[in-house]
């Protein structure tokens, strides 16, 4: 950027005068439109730019460098070439060639002054908030090669005058509110290489000359103009250089023009979501050596898919659409070697599926579901070594599932239900380490279901309605994130593997098989009975058969009562054990304490209280509850303040020095959404942590209290606050902390319902091993725990995110995560099932919240579902969660009606 300031500063008068004589019209317009600029001195480039600036609103003050420096006329900033967003020519004198002001939230009007910059070639105002029609005076920017106004609020029609920009190579007006017809006059922009009118409101027909005459066009995007009603002009075939053609979701009807056959340079073709009919042009696909993505899905195309697609030119033989591939040597493919995405789903194609596709080396995605394709999956599929997703459900494919499928280690989803596949499943069919979804339901497969061990990421396995026999493989229980299993309508026999009850199953359907024996307890209690029906030899509580050896005298109708009693008994016993242990510890500590007291304390907050007061203050009466680690007492200080004291057993696992250091670390965590640690004191026996006390108690208690109805805005405030607190722990506080135990019981509310997170960092104080074992006994099956916790004990951010997601589900549905035993479906399963089975997300929203909030609740539900994604890496970070939740907030202007009843 070595421009000569002096040259620029001396020349403008001279240049401006010259221009005025050359373009008197321009001068008159300038006089009319900008009354402030009357002198010829105003015509310098800096002045023209400042005129531009003066009609622009710049909320972020991004154009602050755009100023005459009167105090220091010789600083480099006076040279506009150094102003933000401006590039100049390298000539002497330099002259503005490019104005790039994208993404600065600019609004206001584009001033005509910029067209007086004689050399302005590139104007990019994309991603701003410009709310005007396309200014006619832009047509005077005759040097313009690039005009990018995408992502603004521009409305009105596209004026014919645009065609005066004869040098234009790039015209991007996408994502605005332009309407009316696409003007025919565009066709005179003969240098145009990029034309993007996508995401607007254009209507009517696409003029054939526009697509026909722009012979330099590389990129044409008319997508998402839902008011267009047009056929795809035949002339499109003349665009020999076209690389990307995006016409999706735009109201195109009629056939795909035959002229497409000539578009040999195509890299991306998207015609999806239109009303296209008829069949593919014959010969389409031969010579598409550059094609990377083909999407014609969701149209009404029919007929045979061109079988020559992706076959070498020498092999084209259109009249033979059956069986002529059999002798094909895969190496002979010349075409489509670059194809990555092939999407033809939801059409009416029939005939053989283009066989050559199966072995393309770069192919990642095949979607052909809901057609009537026939054919087999060839063994050459092993050559498609990058294949990630295959969806060919609801077609007429036949043959066996080839062994070679199992060697593709990138395969993530294989979905081929509702076809005619038969034979055994190869042992390795689920060997891909990233395999998540397998659906082979409604085929004619038989034999045993192989043991599945390698697909540790399998989430969903659907093999319903086949003829599988033998046992349910026990190894399913070792797949940590398996959540949906549907094996219904087969001939499976033997017992249900007991290990399956360790999985977090939202669906386990084994109905209509020949299974026998005892159903694992949690599978009965946690799932609808209909998933077990049609297996006359299964037994267990609630089923028609009770298990003979268990309670021979009971009649089956008594079984549910027994179940409840049993549960109560179990939980009572567990409670007793904790109580006894707690009593023992307390007893010990009280005995010792009466001699010694807390001999060591540390306050992080001016508390006028002595250790003695603390000790005296803690009695049975003010004990407000007991968490997993100890009791909590609330004490009213003489000052009138309340404090909460959590009493932990001092396990002695830390030296007092280490203990102090750790507590200090926790005390440094200060955030409005985190409960403040005010101080602590400890003896050999116990550790007292002193916290601020929050009147409303925990979120769980508040949600349980029937007299408080939390309206949606309060719930959202709680969600946002909690998310902010967690995000702070994860990323802002030093050292970064994990909570490890987020649940509605650990979210406390102050009198304004501002949430504060409690109960974190205890692992640091009681020691990791004690912490782990207490947690294991308390919440081994807790609904808040992420599924991977079953096999990976290490705490992670993603596990916290999962737990938060469960809390958010509680807020959205109004259901407690930990339901009383009588209703044993936990909130996660309940929501997944409801949504899964009925597609009715509305049904899970808390009916107590007024329906005017439903749209926001649905979006919160969506966020929650992302958080509880079974794959940890799919979950958002807490920061992303905060941002998404906040975006719900600004838009809801609720009436505060959160207290009622
Ligand atoms: C820019 O505008 C967007 C959309 O209106 C808004 O969300 C964002 O906060 C604005 N940024 C600034 C810095 O004003
Ligand atoms: C800038 O525009 C002027 C006037 O049209 C012209 O004479 C000059 O050659 C241009 N400079 C460059 C570098 O294009
Ligand atoms: C126009 O600007 C937007 C926003 O920066 C950018 O995404 C887009 O690629 C640009 N258009 C062209 C054709 O370069
Ligand atoms: C554009 O401005 C008009 C009038 O000022 C306003 O009514 C309209 O809502 C704005 N458009 C958008 C998309 O904000
Ligand atoms: C399109 O191109 C043809 C020949 O190249 C020309 O005769 C015709 O006028 C052009 N149409 C428009 C509308 O510019
Ligand atoms: C397809 O046509 C039908 C009526 O003919 C219309 O209702 C529908 O919106 C069209 N679909 C698209 C994607 O344009
Ligand atoms: C299967 O595809 C056909 C169209 O080929 C469609 O009409 C039908 O609804 C689809 N069936 C299912 C179960 O999706
Ligand atoms: C009844 C129903 O729609 N079940 C679906 C639940 O979700 C799994 C996984 O996506 C599908 O495989 C089931 O078909």
Could you read off the pLDDT of 422-471 as tens digits, one per residue?
A: 999 999 999 999 999 999 999 999 999 999 989 989 999 999 999 999 99
| Rounded Cα gap, residues 714 and 898, in angstroms | 7
CA gap 169, 171 in Å, rounded: 7
In angstroms, rounded to a whole number, what is the distance separating the alpha carbons of residues 828 and 840? Answer: 15
**What does the alpha-carbon distance between residue 295 and residue 261 come to, in Å, rounded to a whole number?**
16
Tokens 């076209």 label which residue? 242
Distance between CA atoms of residues 631 and 618, nearest Å:
10
Give the dihedral of Cα atoms 114, 115, 119, 122; nearest 10 deg.
Answer: 70
Mean pLDDT for the stretch of residues 400-429: 95
Burial 209-239, CB ≥16 within 10 A → b, else e = ebbbbbebbbbbbbbbbeebebebbebbbbb
- DSSP 8-state secondary structure symbol assigned to residue 370: S
Buried b (16+ CB within 10 A) or exposed e, 317-347: eeeebeeebeebebeebebbebbbbbbbbbb
Among the ranges given (153-162, 274-283, 592-601, 857-866), the one the predictor scored with the smallest mean pLDDT: 592-601
Supply the pLDDT for residue 800: 94
Range name among 411-420, 434-443, 680-689, 871-880 with the lowest pLDDT average: 680-689
Residue 405 has pLDDT above 60, yes or no: yes
| Nearest ligand, measured from the Cα of 94 | 2
Residue 388 and residue 366 in contact, taking contact as beta carbons nearer than 8 Å: no
Is residue 793 predicted with pLDDT exceeding 90? Answer: no
Does the C-beta of 59 come closer than 6 Å to ligand 1? yes
What does the pLDDT read at residue 820? 58
Q: Which of 182, 183, 209 to probe ligand 5 with, by most ligand atoms within 8 A of CB? A: 209
Calculate mean pLDDT across residues 540-569. 49
Q: Which residues contact 157 (CB under 8 A, 6 or more apart)?
A: 133, 178, 179, 180, 181, 183
Distances (CA, A) of 200 to 227, 421, 835, 862: 9, 45, 33, 27
Mutation test residue for ligand 6: of 275, 299, 346, 347, the one with most atoms within 8 Å of CB? 275
Instruction: Name the residue at shortest CA distance from atom 6 of ligand 5.
Output: 213
Task: Find the distance separating the first CA and the last CA of the chain, reported in whole Å.
Answer: 70
Q: Domains of the chain (ranges plus CATH)?
A: 54-180 (3.80.10.10), 428-549 (3.80.10.10), 593-693 (3.30.200.20), 697-901 (1.10.510.10)
Closest listed ligand to the CA of 106: 1
Q: Which ligand minimizes its atom distance to the CA of 131?
A: 4
Lowest-confidence segment of 539-553, 715-729, 866-880 by average pLDDT: 539-553
Q: What is the mean pLDDT of residues 519-545?
A: 79
- The pLDDT value given to residue 678: 84
pLDDT digits over 205-227, tens only? 999 988 888 999 999 999 999 99
pLDDT of 898 > 70? The answer is no
The SS3 of residue 133 is: strand
Q: Whose C-alpha lies nearest to ligand 5, atom 2? A: 213
Nearest CA to ligand 1 atom 9: 105
Task: Reply yes or no on whether the pLDDT at 658 is more than 90.
Answer: no
Question: In this prediction, what percent of the chain has a pLDDT beyond 70?
Answer: 79
Residue closest via CA to ligand 8's atom 1 equals 837
- For residues 387 and 215, what is the distance between their CA atoms, to the nearest angstrom? 36
Q: Write down the pLDDT at residue 315.
A: 33
- Confidence bin at 635 (pLDDT 50/70/90): confident
Average model confidence (pLDDT) across the chain: 80
pLDDT tens, position by position, 93-119: 889 999 999 999 999 999 999 999 999
Q: Please confirm whether the linkage preceding 298 is cis (ω < 30° from 0).
A: no
Q: Which segment of 14-28, 52-66, 236-250, 375-389 scores lowest on mean pLDDT?
A: 14-28
Helix (H, G, I), strand (E, B) or coil at 278: strand
What confidence score (pLDDT) does residue 77 get?
56
Question: Which pLDDT score is estimated for 280?
Answer: 84
Residue 790 CA to residue 812 CA, distance in Å, equals 26
Residues 6+ apart with CB under 8 A from 422: 398, 399, 400, 443, 444, 445, 446
Point out the ligand 1 atom lying closest to the alpha carbon of residue 59. Answer: 14
Question: What's the 164 CA to ligand 5 centre distance in angstroms?
Answer: 15
> Where is the binding site for ATP, in residues?
647
pLDDT at 415: 97
How far is it, in rounded angstroms, from Cα 789 to Cα 881?
21
Which residue CA neighbors atom 4 of ligand 6 most closely?
A: 275
119 CA → ligand 2 middle, Å:
6
Cβ atoms 234, 281 nearer than 8 A: no
pLDDT in the model for residue 153: 96
SS (H, E, C) 319-356: CCCCCCCCCCCHHHCCCCCCCCEEECCCCEEEEECCHH
Which ligand has an atom closest to residue 150 CA?
3
> 549 CB contacts (<8 Å, ≥6 apart)?
none
pLDDT at 685 over 50: yes
Report whether 535 contacts 514 (CB < 8 A): yes
pLDDT band at 19 (very low <50, low <70, confident <90, very high): very low
pLDDT attached to residue 875: 94
How far is it, in rounded angstroms, from Cα 751 to Cα 411? 52
Is 92 close to ligand 2, i.e. is its CB under 6 Å away? no
Residues 6+ apart with CB under 8 A from 870: 459, 481, 483, 504, 787
Distance, in Å, from the CA atom of 824 to the CA atom of 711, rounded to the nearest integer, reads: 26
827-838 vs 797-813: helix axis angle to the nearest 10?
A: 70
Q: Is the pLDDT of residue 203 over 70?
A: yes
Please identify, by atom number, the ligand 5 atom nearest to the C-alpha of residue 188. Answer: 14
- CA–CA separation, 891 and 870 (whole Å): 30
**807 by DSSP, 3-state: which?**
helix
When pLDDT is cut at 50, 70 and 90, the band that residue 274 belongs to is very high
Cβ atoms 717, 754 nearer than 8 A: yes
Mean pLDDT of 258-272: 90
Provide mean pLDDT across the span 60-86.
77
pLDDT of residue 72: 55
Measured CA to CA, the distance from residue 433 to residue 436 in angstroms comes to 9
User: Sorting pLDDT into bands at 50, 70 and 90, what band is 597?
Assistant: low
Taking only the tens place, the pLDDT of each residue in 828-863 is 888 887 876 555 677 889 988 888 888 899 999 999
Binding residues, as ranges, are 647
Minimal-distance CA residue to ligand 1 atom 12: 60
**Atom of ligand 4 minimally distant from the CA of 129:** 14
Atom of ligand 7 nearest to the CA of 370: 2
Prior bond of 581 cis (ω within 30°): no
- Nearest ligand 6 atom, CA 229: 14
Pocket around ligand 3: residues whose beta carbon is below 6 Å from it?
102, 124, 126-127, 148, 150, 170, 172, 194, 196
- The verdict on the CB of residue 89 being under 6 Å from ligand 2 is yes
Beta strands at 747-749 and 755-757: parallel, antiparallel or unpaired: antiparallel
Cα distance between residue 863 and residue 328, in whole Å: 49
Of the bound ligands, which one is closest to the alpha carbon of residue 189? 5
Going from the Cα of 250 to the center of ligand 6, the distance in angstroms, rounded, reads: 10
Nearest atom within ligand 3 for CA of residue 170 = 13
* Rounded distance from Cα 460 to ligand 8 centre (Å): 8
Cα–Cα dist 130/101, whole Å: 12
DSSP string, 490-546: SEEEEPPPGGGGGS--SEEE--SSEEEEEPPHHHHHHS-GGGT-S-TEEESTTSSS-
């Amino acid at each position: 950027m070595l421009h000569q300031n002096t040259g620029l500063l001396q020349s403008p008068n001279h240049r401006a005068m010259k221009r005025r004589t050359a373009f008197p019209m321009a001068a008159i317009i300038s006089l009319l439109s900008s009354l402030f600029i009357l002198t010829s001195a105003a015509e310098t480039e800096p002045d023209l730019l400042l005129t531009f600036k003066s009609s622009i609103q710049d909320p972020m003050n991004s154009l602050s460098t755009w100023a005459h420096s009167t105090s220091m006329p010789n600083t480099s900033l006076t040279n506009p070439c150094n102003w933000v967003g401006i590039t100049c020519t390298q000539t002497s004198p330099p002259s503005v060639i490019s104005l790039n002001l994208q993404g600065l939230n600019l609004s206001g009007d584009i001033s005509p002054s910029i067209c007086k910059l004689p050399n302005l070639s590139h104007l990019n105002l994309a991603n701003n908030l410009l709310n005007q029609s396309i200014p006619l005076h832009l047509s005077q920017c005759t040097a313009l090669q690039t005009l990018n106004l995408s992502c603004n609020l521009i409305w009105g029609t596209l004026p014919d005058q645009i065609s005066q920009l004869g040098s234009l190579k790039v015209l991007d007006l996408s994502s605005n509110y332009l309407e009316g017809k696409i003007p025919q006059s565009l066709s005179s922009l003969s240098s145009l290489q990029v034309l993007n009118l996508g995401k607007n409101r254009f209507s009517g027909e696409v003029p054939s000359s526009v697509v026909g005459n722009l012979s330099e066009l590389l990129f044409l995007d008319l997508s998402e103009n839902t008011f267009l009603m047009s056929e795809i002009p035949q002339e499109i075939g003349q665009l020999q250089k076209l690389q990307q053609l995006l016409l999706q979701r735009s109201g195109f009807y009629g056939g795909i023009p035959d002229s497409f056959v000539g578009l040999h340079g195509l890299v991306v073709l998207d015609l999806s979501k239109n009303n296209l009919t008829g069949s593919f042009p014959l010969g389409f696909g031969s010579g598409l050596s550059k094609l990377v993505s083909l999407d014609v899905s969701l149209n009404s195309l029919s007929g045979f898919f061109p079988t020559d697609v992706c076959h070498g030119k020498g092999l084209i033989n259109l009249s033979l659409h059956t069986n002529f591939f059999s002798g094909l040597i895969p190496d002979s493919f010349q075409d489509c070697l670059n194809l990555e995405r092939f999407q033809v789903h939801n059409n009416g194609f029939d005939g053989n599926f283009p066989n050559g596709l199966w072995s393309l080396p770069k192919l990642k995605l095949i979607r052909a579901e809901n057609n009537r394709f026939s054919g087999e999956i060839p063994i050459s599929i092993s050559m498609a070594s990058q294949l990630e997703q295959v969806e060919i459900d609801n077609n007429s494919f036949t043959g066996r599932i080839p062994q070679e499928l199992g060697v593709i280690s990138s395969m993530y989803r294989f979905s081929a239900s509702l076809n005619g596949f038969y034979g055994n499943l190869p042992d390795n069919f689920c060997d891909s380490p990233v395999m998540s979804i397998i659906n082979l339901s409604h085929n004619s497969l038989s034999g045993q279901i192989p043991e599945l061990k390698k697909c540790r990421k399998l989430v969903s396995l659907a093999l319903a309605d086949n003829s599988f026999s033998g046992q349910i493989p026990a190894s399913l229980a070792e797949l940590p994130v398996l959540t949906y299993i549907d094996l219904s309508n087969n001939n499976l026999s033997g017992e249900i593997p007991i290990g399956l009850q360790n999985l977090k199953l939202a669906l386990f359907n084994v109905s209509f098989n020949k299974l026998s024996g005892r159903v694992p307890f949690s599978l009965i209690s946690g799932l609808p009975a209909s998933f077990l029906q049609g297996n006359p030899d299964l037994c267990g509580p609630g089923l028609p058969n009770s298990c003979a050896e268990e309670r021979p005298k009971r009649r089956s109708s008594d079984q549910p009562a027994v179940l409840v009693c049993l549960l109560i008994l179990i939980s009572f016993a567990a409670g007793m054990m904790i109580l006894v242990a707690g009593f023992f510890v307390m007893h010990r500590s009280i005995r010792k304490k009466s001699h010694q007291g807390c001999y060591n304390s540390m306050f992080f907050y001016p508390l006028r209280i002595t250790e003695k007061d603390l000790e005296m203050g803690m009695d049975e009466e003010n004990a407000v509850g007991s968490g997993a680690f100890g009791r909590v007492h609330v004490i009213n200080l003489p000052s009138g303040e309340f404090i909460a004291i959590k009493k932990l057993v001092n396990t002695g696992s830390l030296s007092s020095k280490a203990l102090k250091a750790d507590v200090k670390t926790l005390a440094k965590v200060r955030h409005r959404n985190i409960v403040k640690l005010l101080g602590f004191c400890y003896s050999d026996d116990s550790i007292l942590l002193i916290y601020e006390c929050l009147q409303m108690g925990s979120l769980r208690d508040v949600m349980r209290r029937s007299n408080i109805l939390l309206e949606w805005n309060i719930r959202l405030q709680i969600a946002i606050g909690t998310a902010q607190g967690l995000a702070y722990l994860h990323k802002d506080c030093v050292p970064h902390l994990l909570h490890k135990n987020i649940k509605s019981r650990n979210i406390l509310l102050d009198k304004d319902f501002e949430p504060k997170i409690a109960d974190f960092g205890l692992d640091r104080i009681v020691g990791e091993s004690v912490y782990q074992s207490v947690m294991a006994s308390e919440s081994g099956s807790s609904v808040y725990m992420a599924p991977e916790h079953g096999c990976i004990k290490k705490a992670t951010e993603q596990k916290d995110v999962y737990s938060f997601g469960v809390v958010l589900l509680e807020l959205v549905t109004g259901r407690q995560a930990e339901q009383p035993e009588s209703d044993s479906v936990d909130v996660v399963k309940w929501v997944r099932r409801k949504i899964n089975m009925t597609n009715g997300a509305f049904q899970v929203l808390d009916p107590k919240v007024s329906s005017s909030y439903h749209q926001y609740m649905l979006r919160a539900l969506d966020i929650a579902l992302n958080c509880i994604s079974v794959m940890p890496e799919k979950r958002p970070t807490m920061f992303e969660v905060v941002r998404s939740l906040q975006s719900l907030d600004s838009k809801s202007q609720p009436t505060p009606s959160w207290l009622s009843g």
